[in-house]
């Protein structure tokens, strides 16, 4: 049996704060979670037909997972703003998403470039 999954990871530059991993699979209610509450999992669980991250799934992750966790960390550290650095990918959010949270900004890497850790 084949299965496809996507995992989203996000951390601050120092690694001292890591957003809970997000697991994306095809199935809305996998049999392996039959007797488990999805909110009690050690990851955020999301589903999408291809198990890939599209713009609507990214928007859901951004608002429901990333922003609440980062806000809590900013408050704890008494900081005011956060920036999410991303690759320039097809699932990038729309202009509306970029400006939907005043304390959080999005920035993209230049097209056709690799981050230093990929070389």
Q: What is the pLDDT of residues 66-119, one digit of tens each?
A: 889 998 999 999 988 888 877 766 666 655 455 455 567 666 666 666 655 554
pLDDT on residue 21: 95
Q: Supply the DSSP string of 55-86, one letter for each residue.
A: HHHHHHHIIIIIHHHHHHHHHHHT---EEEEE
Q: Which domain holds residue 43?
A: 1-118
Q: CB within 8 A of 81, min separation 6: which ones?
A: 74, 103, 104, 105
Number of structural domains found in the chain: 1
pLDDT on residue 24: 93
Q: How far is CA 7 from its chain centroid?
A: 9
Write down the residue that tokens 């980062």 correspond to: 70
Beta strands 6-11 and 104-108, pairing class: unpaired
Considering the entire predicted model, what is its pTM? Answer: 0.76
């Amino acid at each position: 049996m084949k299965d496809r999954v996507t995992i989203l990871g996000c951390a601050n530059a120092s690694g001292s704060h890591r957003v809970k991993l997000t697991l994306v699979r095809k199935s809305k209610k996998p049999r392996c979670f039959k007797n488990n509450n999805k909110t009690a999992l050690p990851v955020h669980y999301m589903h999408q037909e291809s198990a890939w991250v599209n713009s609507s799934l990214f928007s859901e992750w951004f608002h429901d997972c990333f922003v609440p966790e980062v806000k809590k960390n900013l408050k704890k550290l008494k900081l005011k703003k956060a920036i999410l650095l991303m690759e320039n990918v097809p699932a990038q959010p729309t202009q509306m998403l970029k400006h939907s949270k005043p304390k959080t900004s999005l920035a993209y890497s230049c097209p056709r470039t690799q981050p230093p850790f990929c070389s």
